[in-house]
Amino acid sequence: MRSLRHPGWQSLIGLSLLVPSLSAAAQAGGAATPAAATQALEVPPGAPETPYVHPDKAYLFAHMTKERYGVLYYSVSVDGLHWRRLNGGKPVSADYHGHASIAQGPDGRYFLVGNKSDSDPLIRFWVSTDLIRWTPYGTYQPSLSDIPGHANALQRIGAPKLYYDKPSSQFLLTWHTPTVPGIPADPERYWASQRTLYVVSKDLKTFDKAPRRLFDWDLATIDTIIQPDPEGGYCAIIKDERYPSYNWTTGKTIRISCAPSLLGPYPNPGPPISPNFREAPTVIRSPDDKDWLIYYEQYAGTSYGLSKAPRLQGPWYQVSGNAGIKKWNRYEMPDGVRHGSMIAISRKEYDALVAAFPNGE
């Protein structure tokens, strides 16, 4: 992986592409603009790429696996595109259970949220200073009665997610809850009744007010994550949980809605950025800060897909990976990884994780 720091052959390709541009500029009596130089350095479509690797940046993917649902595993990457499992493919925690979601708090500590199952009445938190050792931090039991616009909520807390908002100095905790039980003749009515709920907290010990719906629109949503937009406001990345049909062609896809403030109001989400039957989105910024990368699972545990854009509001396109043909792959994920969250970490933290959870190779 570290050999990617010195992509010598890419430099040669880039130089050969750049020279004609510089020559043309010289003949015109001027200098090549930075934009022109950047465009000239781009790899032609379909040509091999060597991803950029920052000497001080890396990524952690905390996830479950197809074989052991809800158990905590780690994968890491130095370029945000090529991932490898840690700890010889074994779990990294004997205590944690849930859909791993990690947020770094104001004091630098990391907080991890989960629950034992959807029927567990408690949302559970763990804390760590190093991402290696997790200790229980506390629990929160939301009241699911009398939620405005979500009457008759079932006792179900699906996939709690955690985000720390620096401007407001508070954690945003989200999850999804249904109002209608599924039946064999119509199992999808359960999922069609899911709505994203939220509470906020300064310290994950006390929580402000009762749970409320995050979105006003009448659309089934699960797996909601929040990402601040560098251009202003916030973007909610959601799964449209309706079953796809001629009426709901966007069902079971990843979509985005952007709002001026953390709690909205969020407008109707945009078009899908993934194929149908994808869920559990997670988002990171590329090491050179040029691209957004949103990963999503083709469930159940079949593979992970990736969409890429220069801005959170697009344009998004789907990247080729795990194709079975090496030269077609722009990213690679370990087999069997499932729901989780990716976060940016320092190279020092990356090295510590690799040392703490060696693969025994």
Q: Tokens for 249?
A: 């062609």
Q: Determine the Cα–Cα distance for residues 351 and 360; give it in Å rounded to an integer.
A: 15
Confidence of residue 325 (pLDDT cuts 50, 70, 90): confident
Q: Is the model's pLDDT at 54 over the cut of 50? A: yes
Distance in angstroms (rounded) separating the CA atoms of residues 162 and 125: 10
Q: Is the pLDDT of residue 117 over 60?
A: yes
More confident of the two residues 87 and 27: 87
Q: Residues 187-224, buried b or exposed e (16+ Cβ, 10 A)?
A: eebbbbbbbbbbbbbeebeebeeebebbbeeebbbbbb
Which of 20 and 209 is assigned the larger pLDDT? 209
**CA nearest to 347, candidates 55, 17, 19:** 55
Average pLDDT over residues 93-115: 97
Q: Look up residue 67 and give its two tokens.
A: 């074989």
pLDDT at residue 36 greater than cutoff 60: no
Q: Is beta strand 278-285 parallel, antiparallel or unpaired with respect to 292-298?
A: antiparallel
Predicted local distance difference test score (pLDDT) of residue 170: 97
5: confidence class by pLDDT, cuts 50, 70, 90? very low
Contacts of 90 (CB under 8 A, 6+ apart): 73
Q: Name the strands in the sheet holding 110-114, side by side, starting at the edge strand that comes first in the sequence.
A: 101-104, 110-114, 123-128, 135-140
Grade residue 11 by pLDDT with cuts at 50, 70 and 90.
very low
pLDDT at 41: 57
